[in-house]
Structure 1
Amino acid sequence: MNPLTQTGTPAAGLAPKRAYELEHLLGALADPANPVGAAAILDADERAETLTAGESLLHDYGLNAEFVPPEHGGRLDRADHLVEVMRSVYRRDPVLGLGYGASSLIAGVTLWTAGNEEQTAFAARTLLDGRRIAIAFHELAHGNDMAGTEFTATAAPDGLRLSGRKEVVTNIRRADAMVVLARSDPRPGPRSHSLVLVDRASADPARLTDLPRFGTVGMRGLQLGGLRFDALPVPTAAVLGPVGSGLENALKALQITRTVLPAMASGILDTGLRLALDHLTKRRLYGAPATDLPQVRAQLAAVFADLLRAEALGAVGARALHLLPGQASVYSSAVKFEVARLLLEAMDRLAELLGAHFYLREGPTALFQKLLRDLAPVGFGHIARAACQMSLMPQLPLLARRSWSRPAADAPGDLFTLGTGLPPLPFGRLALHAAGRDPIAGSLHALADAPWQAGHADLRAAAEADRTDLIELASVCVRLTPVDLGVDAGPEHYDLVTRYVRLWARTACLQVWRHADPGTFLADPSWLRAALHRSSPGRRRPGPLPGPVEDALFAELLHRHIERRSFGLTGRALTV
């Protein structure tokens, strides 16, 4: 048994104390009398309503302080700690996670990135008072193409006039303020849009019309609506940053949210895996528990492995926001693209294991079908996985020249030592382009040449093979032309992004393992061997894990289940 679960104490620094406090306040998910337990969550979902008791509890806890930096009076000191706190919410009810939490987070980081002192002070007061700020970037007609935004901000003698529609926006009906992306110049180009902070309390209600909520398959209780602006007057001082900087600042801020939101959503898979394991350990097939069947054990171990590597990638991406903000344009897209895929595919595999029980809306597994539906937006919300591929593709040639073909500048060791402290989030140092610097993938060269302990020859061989693959990928990418990198690029060029993200993710897992504290679960090579096996090249769907690896992971999974611990990296105690 590994020391992490034997001692009952997760590795220091992986989860803040307040994550345990929030978990305790939320109470046991399985308790039918708990007003924020599974029964209450499902009842609210059937009514397509937000769980009021859950919002009241999160308000009393002061969850909004998690979205405000310390210099403004909040607790947003570390992106990885924010993720771990929010996993306690997401693992119960993703509607609460997005509706009460993440929506205001997205607006908040936009303000911390682009706002002036007066605007950020207003935002901090609003959030710390427990009120909401909506983020209105997208329009249904344009999806992730923010440059196509038709909503306008036109100059007037006394300021600006906002006109147009914003649709499918979380909390827009009940938000006290909102950040809107508007076209401030009719001419095309990167300087044609601006971000505008709208204080709804002072806005002319005759110029605003709430639009009906769109029906959705998942997130049924989410306050998801639209708003029509009819030449709404706002002062010029409402613009965040210089006029015309809207797209630039929005894309920088989204680097934070596209990193942390998928990482938070791993809490959904944690509960999905727990529900499946609960069911399969009790279900008897052929005279024995279903978990005695080799195929069932293999799939459960594989899902556990994918949850671990998803959280490892999320942790590295979150720490990179602090330590390598100039590379966040690459790493945030890699996290969103790969972590979202891992979570979605893993939940689908659990649904296969549950069979008919995965879509029941009552009984012990009833919460699973809601979680499965609510997880879907992780792949397209705020920026789609395909859009992440498109944002990565133009950077491939320069990354190949400067970082992949030869040893690059070393990545800071603290990037992979997950329990160590971090400097404040440097919102002002986020950049639109990584300038070809990729110390994570580039560290494959040093990894392959590093000394390896006896018994780890297979891991060294994997690092050496990945280095060869990275060099080959670089040789292809340096020859790409601007025509190859546009929105109409062929599938073979999108495949290059997928190939890169796979190598980046494998390297991140290798580095997390090498930097883990001895004696902890992260230092055990079993999870790493599983992660490397599950991401091997040339397979559409990886085969079963090697026997000893599967046995070790399944034993750890069962132990955590009995001990009521999370299945993610922290292994922290839960109220289940």
Structure 2
Amino acid sequence: MSAQTAAGLEAVFGPPGDPANPFGLAAVVRADELGAPPPAARAALAAFGVGAEFVPRELGGRFDRADRMVRVLRPLGRRDLALLIGSGAIGLIAAAPVWVAGDAAQRAWTAELLLGGARLAAAFTELGHGSDAARMDLRAVPRGDGFALTGGKQVINELDRADACVLLARTGTAGSARDLSLFLLDMAGEPGPGTRFLPPFPLAVLRGSRLVGVEFDERPVPAGALLGERGHALEVMGRAFQVTRATLPGMILGSLDTLLRTTVAFALERRLYGRSVADLPHAAGELTGVFADLLACDAMATVAARSLHLLPGETSVSSALTKYLVPELLQDAADRLGAVLGARSYLREGPHAIFQKHLRDLLAASVAHTGGTVCLASVIPQLPALARRAGNAGAAPATVFRPDADLPALPFDRLALSARGSDSVASLWTAPETADLPEPIAALHKQFAAEAERLRARAAALPPRERVLTAGPEGFAVAERYAVLWAAACCLGVWRHSPDHHDEAWAVVALHRLAGRLGLVTGPPPAAHADRLHRILLDRHERRRSFDLADEPLATQG
């Protein structure tokens, strides 16, 4: 196995439970209390060559499969979300627009930086406007054969330590979408002329991150720094963000693994009424339900990442649904685990202290880059077309559900701003054939198919005011239900087509819980399947295996 794999990164950080391990969970908690990443963690990531994970293979990197990249970075999510975002995924967030719109020189330079261990920053947002890119205030005014920057950016990760930065600025005055442009800036040796960094913002979450601001006053920018065409920033970002929306949730998923593992360990040790908490029906149901939700999230993340390669014309929908629903499910699962762990869920010291750190960080990491509401809003204008063309897109290829299947190179130039009504994954619910499905799954399939038909009617009937980014409750309600249907299709597809995941128990419980979110079923999942999934959970915990679909070994003592 290559060192540049999930197992390789797991080995770099060593046994999480070893109190003497400088990258163990105890060290992560200590560093968080100091508001810093674990000492030497960044050096370890540099030695691993984490930047190469974000560079396409044709440019000398290891980015050949988005789903592989997700699995490689997931161990960071299991250890420290601040480290994952600040020293890991930020490289992808900054580089994706370059791969989408950069010229040959810009792509080569960005690849050289990442392969050499340099830091990149992504300066898109402004504190006063959040994710509303159209209202950005920072201006890039034409000056001679270049531009001059005036204005500021805030809460930008590692900006004052970055070697390069992808920055969004206003290059026009009409107040339209065509006024915004992207720039690839050389930040080495900063602050340069007309540049002043602001002190780091104090943080209550992701405390190992360093979020700073910058103010520009007529800072000169060469014409060659323009990334893509002038005035096309929103189009470039719309395509580039599909890559990050499809991959970041799968990386963050590692955090729920740690939360679940911490709670299972407590539940096995703690005894009430003559038996362990893990054996009490309510606690067992909560632990098993969270395990099923984790697997459902991984199914979504797997399909979204693989769709970038296989269904690039549809990922404006699939990536947005994933970035919306996976964090929602993770947060709900974390809250359920906190109820099982009780008072220990917020203690900042002791054997369960890692729980409160991940619980705090998960909420912030889930909205990193783009929040769920923004992602869901981007799907709403596409709902009527998705309703009209339901079933016409053709079935998704089986390989989109199979993590073991090879993938072609990611075609950045084919990522589209609109799916034009095509959603091959959701078309599964228009296929009536269920004869080859076992009874519990066949019954759920019929429920989802009927709901899909009802939802298509609702989407088609949406009035114009509910078909825009600023839609009201009805537009969002339809989009939310569509997201759950899409997640269920991912679970069913992964279970049917991936030979390593044919155990019926996880599919039944995961699908039952998603059906419950739609009000299609009530009560707990079938007892026999829930009991089997509970045994699988405890077995993985005992054998130190990951709780995701990969079922990979984790670092152990000795």
TM bucket by the smaller chain?
over 0.9
Question: Are residue 451 (structure 1) and residue 443 (structure 2) matched?
Answer: no
Equivalent residue for 2:509, pick from 506, 511, 530: 530
1:379 maps to which residue? 366
2:113 maps to which residue? 126
Unaligned runs of 5+ in 2: none
Question: Are residue 568 (structure 1) and residue 548 (structure 2) matched?
Answer: yes
Verify the 8 A CA contact 2:49 2:115 in the aligned structure 1. Answer: yes
Question: Are residue 138 (structure 1) and residue 117 (structure 2) matched?
Answer: no
Verify the 8 A CA contact 1:298 1:545 in the aligned structure 2. Answer: no
Question: Are residue 217 (structure 1) and residue 204 (structure 2) matched?
Answer: yes
RMSD: 1.7
Partners of 2:78 and 2:505 lie apart in 1 by 25
2:464 maps to which residue? 482
Instruction: State the secondary structure of the residue aligned to 2:19.
Output: coil
1:90, distance to aligned residue in structure 2 (A): 1.1
Verify the 8 A CA contact 2:392 2:422 in the aligned structure 1. Answer: no
Question: Are residue 108 (structure 1) and residue 88 (structure 2) matched?
Answer: no
Q: CA 1:311–1:426 in structure 2 vs 1: closer, same or farther (change >3 Å)?
A: same
1:542, distance to aligned residue in structure 2 (A): 6.4
1:16, distance to aligned residue in structure 2 (A): 9.0
Instruction: State the secondary structure of the residue aligned to 1:50.
Output: coil
Q: Report Cα offsets for 1:305-334 as digits up to 9, x if no partner.
A: 000000011000000011011111000011
Partners of 1:494 and 1:94 lie apart in 2 by 29
Question: Are residue 428 (structure 1) and residue 413 (structure 2) matched?
Answer: yes
Q: CA 1:254–1:542 in structure 2 vs 1: closer, same or farther (change >3 Å)?
A: farther
1:378, distance to aligned residue in structure 2 (A): 3.6
2:476 maps to which residue? 494
Verify the 8 A CA contact 1:196 1:238 in the aligned structure 2. Answer: yes
1:410, distance to aligned residue in structure 2 (A): 2.2
Q: Report Cα offsets for 1:518-549 as digits up to 9, x if no partner.
A: xx3x1011111111110115449964332111
1:44 maps to which residue? 31
1:516, distance to aligned residue in structure 2 (A): 2.0
Partners of 1:80 and 1:400 lie apart in 2 by 28
> Superposed, which structure 2 residues align to 1:302-451 within 5 Å?
302-402=289-389, 404=390, 406-446=391-431, 448-451=432-435
1:482, distance to aligned residue in structure 2 (A): 2.6
Q: CA 1:24–1:97 in structure 2 vs 1: closer, same or farther (change >3 Å)?
A: same
> Superposed, which structure 2 residues align to 1:217-236 within 5 Å?
217-236=204-223
Q: Which amino acid aligns with 2:393?
A: A
Question: Are residue 461 (structure 1) and residue 439 (structure 2) matched?
Answer: no
2:285 maps to which residue? 298
Verify the 8 A CA contact 2:22 2:39 in the aligned structure 1. Answer: no
Q: Which amino acid aligns with 1:449?
A: E
TM normalised by structure 2 equals 0.96
Moved more, 551-560 or 19-28: 19-28
1:490, distance to aligned residue in structure 2 (A): 2.1
Instruction: State the secondary structure of the residue aligned to 1:436.
Output: coil
1:449, distance to aligned residue in structure 2 (A): 1.6
TM normalised by structure 1 equals 0.93
Verify the 8 A CA contact 1:111 1:123 in the aligned structure 2. Answer: yes
Instruction: State the secondary structure of the residue aligned to 1:536.
Output: helix
Partners of 1:188 and 1:167 lie apart in 2 by 21
Q: CA 1:203–1:216 in structure 2 vs 1: closer, same or farther (change >3 Å)?
A: closer
Q: CA 1:483–1:77 in structure 2 vs 1: closer, same or farther (change >3 Å)?
A: same
Q: Which amino acid aligns with 1:452?
A: D
Q: Report Cα offsets for 1:93-147 as digits up to 9, x if no partner.
A: 1111111111111011111111111011111111111011100000111111111
Q: CA 1:541–1:275 in structure 2 vs 1: closer, same or farther (change >3 Å)?
A: farther
Partners of 1:214 and 1:530 lie apart in 2 by 43
Q: CA 1:461–1:408 in structure 2 vs 1: closer, same or farther (change >3 Å)?
A: farther
Q: Which amino acid aligns with 1:429?
A: R
1:480, distance to aligned residue in structure 2 (A): 2.3
Partners of 1:476 and 1:182 lie apart in 2 by 39
2:74 maps to which residue? 87
1:487, distance to aligned residue in structure 2 (A): 4.2
Q: Which amino acid aligns with 2:543?
A: E
Q: Report Cα offsets for 1:65-93 as digits up to 9, x if no partner.
A: 10111111110111111110111111001
Q: CA 1:206–1:572 in structure 2 vs 1: closer, same or farther (change >3 Å)?
A: same
Instruction: State the secondary structure of the residue aligned to 1:30.
Output: coil
Q: Which amino acid aligns with 2:423?
A: D
Q: CA 1:543–1:166 in structure 2 vs 1: closer, same or farther (change >3 Å)?
A: farther
Partners of 1:312 and 1:189 lie apart in 2 by 38
2:41 maps to which residue? 54
Partners of 2:24 and 2:520 lie apart in 1 by 38
Provide the identity percentage: 43
1:189, distance to aligned residue in structure 2 (A): 2.2
